[in-house]
Structure 1
Amino acid sequence: MSVKRGILSIETATKLCSAAYSVDGQNLTYRVSDGTKPNHAETLAPFIEEILKSKEVEGMTPEAIAVSAGPGSYTGLRIGASTAKGLAFGYEIPMIAVPTLQIVAAATPNPDNHLICAMIDARRMEVYTALFDANLEPLSEDHAIVIDETFLQKQLKEQKIIFAGDGADKSRDIIQSSNVIFTDQVIYPTAMAMAPLANRLLKEKSFVDTAYWQPDYLKEYVAIVGKNKVLNNIK
């Protein structure tokens, strides 16, 4: 009798850090941080070790590594990508990249099959966002924008849209429409929500080139130098 092997998923794009093991799109076990101390470099490796040693996946070896592909935190995405690559090379298995905004949409409760506008905070008034249908199919490309009153006005005239993600609150006082729905709780992307998406990509054999793949940052990383350091360098 063959043993189902499953997918090990990693999500580190926002302040939550999570990992999960799934078979046929169903999670067997998972670990997730509470977000109070977003030190993914210290948290992720113990999570993965605990999952692979858990009774739920005892005797199983993953057949693929899935990783949140971005956009999101530059540092978080780098940690997730490097960990996923190391595991993929170590196990000699393929790697799957799942768009982070699609993971937000997958994590969003949607009993009435509305459109979902997934939003991740990109600092200041900017967000990373994409629009999805009820089947989680993308209706727009991922992009970084500053929200204004014209955002999605055409679509909002025709149907209801759920605004979800840790960037959605930036729209509350700007988007004026009776068709806007805001979630009661902040929706974060998690490894648990990746399971059906990763399983679909596994069946399609939609793998990335492990050696050369990079997360989708959308924006260039800009290092911020503290004022005290600038002053100390002035002579």
Structure 2
Amino acid sequence: MTIILHLETATTNCSVSISKDDEIVVLKENNAASYSHSEQLHVFIKEALKEASLSFSDLDAVAISKGPGSYTGLRIGVSAAKGICFSLDIPLISIPTLQSMARQVDLKPGELVIPALDARRMEVYSCVYNNNYQEVRETRAEIINEESFVEYLGENEVYVVGSGAEKCRGVLQHPNFIFDESVVPSAEDMVSMAFEKFESKQFEDVAYFEPYYLKDFVLQQKKKKN
């Protein structure tokens, strides 16, 4: 039996799960309005292990949501994952954040899903997947306008999901676009992909792995008071 710890910190949702093979056994998460990963992540890990009646030594691998997403959130999650992998000498598995979001949508043949995360201003991180959750178009950071994603429209519905869906809703007017802002990245949806990667030994180099930021980090300077 393969036991994997899953960490999702790419957005405001601080999420931890534990799986046995491809079945989830524990999920701990909190989607607070502000990022609380530095305070909650390690607490959730310990609580999840306790609820599953497991210890760190029982883990066979750690899976991390690799981004894109919040620079700070991703750094916290990856640092925690790498620390556990180093100390236990177990493999690190990375899961594309947008792909795990796509799997939350049940699709019929011919339908597409576009997971989109808010990337400030009118920009989103997005990717396009078919009904088998295979990538149709690569991940991009892009500004949404009236022409965005029109090449994927046909007779079937196209689902736009995630925190970036709100931006898209006000711009994309075609009736085949279906919007759902409630979809958030969760460690619950990493399980099947992580187990597949474990079985095929698709592991990351723990020493050199970095999150998929997609954009350079820009420090927001506070305005000085006059």
TM-score when scaled to structure 2?
A: 0.94
Please give the residue correspondences for 1:180-199 in structure 2 after superposition, counting only pairs within 5 Å.
180-183=177-180, 185-199=181-195
Q: Are the equivalent residues in 2 in contact too, given 1:119–1:168 (CA < 8 A)? A: yes
- Give the alignment partner of residue 71 of structure 1, picking from 68, 71, 92: 68
Please give the residue correspondences for 1:109-128 in structure 2 after superposition, counting only pairs within 5 Å.
110-113=106-109, 114-128=111-125
Q: 2-side partners of 1:162 and 1:56: how far apart? A: 39
1:110-154 CA distances to partner (integer Å, 9 max, x unpaired)?
153521101011011000000011221111111100011111112
Secondary structure class of the residue paired with 2:58: coil
1:174-224 CA distances to partner (integer Å, 9 max, x unpaired)?
1121211112x5110010111111111111211110100100100000111
Q: Are the equivalent residues in 2 in contact too, given 1:13–1:77 (CA < 8 A)? A: yes
Secondary structure class of the residue paired with 1:14: coil
Sequence identity (%) = 38
Q: Are the equivalent residues in 2 in contact too, given 1:107–1:190 (CA < 8 A)? A: no
Q: In the alignment, is residue 104 of structure 1 matched against residue 104 of structure 2?
A: no
Structure 1 position 38, deviation (Å): 1.9
Structure 1 position 50, deviation (Å): 0.9
Over 3 Å counting, the alpha-carbon distance change for 1:160 and 1:93 in structure 2 is same
Q: 1-side partners of 2:32 and 2:40: how far apart? A: 11
Greater fraction strand: 2
Over 3 Å counting, the alpha-carbon distance change for 1:59 and 1:104 in structure 2 is closer
Structure 1 position 36, deviation (Å): 3.2
TM-score when scaled to structure 1?
A: 0.90
Computing the radius of gyration over CA atoms, which structure comes out larger, 1 or 2? Answer: 1
Q: 2-side partners of 1:172 and 1:59: how far apart? A: 43
Q: 2-side partners of 1:94 and 1:59: how far apart? A: 13
Q: 2-side partners of 1:92 and 1:226: how far apart? A: 42
Q: In the alignment, is residue 146 of structure 1 matched against residue 143 of structure 2?
A: yes
Q: Are the equivalent residues in 2 in contact too, given 1:128–1:144 (CA < 8 A)? A: yes
Q: Report the RMSD for the aligned CA atoms in angstroms.
A: 1.7
Structure 1 position 24, deviation (Å): 2.0
Q: In the alignment, is residue 222 of structure 1 matched against residue 223 of structure 2?
A: no
Equivalent position of 2:10 in the other structure: 13
Q: Are the equivalent residues in 1 in contact too, given 2:25–2:52 (CA < 8 A)? A: no
Equivalent position of 2:41 in the other structure: 44
* Alignment gaps of 5+ in structure 2: none
Q: 2-side partners of 1:70 and 1:213: how far apart? A: 12
